[in-house]
Copies of this chain bind each other. A is one copy, B any other.
Amino acid sequence: MISGKFAITLHILTLLSKFPDDYLSSDFIAGSMNVHPVLVRKEIANLKKNHIVESKEGKNGGTRLLKSASKITLDAIFKMTFDTVTLGFSKNEPNPDCPVGKQINKNLEHLYDDINQTISLQLNEITLEDFSNKF
């Protein structure tokens, strides 16, 4: 199921890209998106794990980009949020005695894999800089 992780992460990064030299606090970022600062810090933790941003603790602390916005693709962000586009699965174990039930999830998975690959190709052509320039 798709949560707001991608959107939140992209919002964070867009803000950071607008102030590449400043450390922005999670409170400031959360204020722009009207979301809880703890949620912002959670996504930032994920960005740090991926070496996209760095943060500084303590007074006047915050977070800033580690990489140039022109070097970060939306596909990379997509992959970092661990979101995978699916159109849903049979979540209850389907009936293994039914030829369709037995294989439905495997076949859906193949279909969604193909879709994800296409999306990745598309998102790979768009950099954070491109996106940020729309603002």
- Residues of chain A at the chain B interface (Cβ within 8 Å): 1-8, 10-11, 14-15, 18, 31-35, 74, 78, 81, 83, 85-95, 98-101, 103-104, 107-108, 111, 114-115, 118-119, 122-123, 126, 131, 134-135
Contacts and interface: CB of A to CB of B under 8 A. Distances in A.
5 contacts: A4-B89, A7-B88, A32-B100, A33-B92, A83-B88
Nearest to A95: B32
B94 A33 contact: yes
Interface centre among A18, A93, A111, A114 (most CB of B within 10 A): A111
A95 B31 contact: yes
Contact of A94 (B3, B34, B126, B131): B34
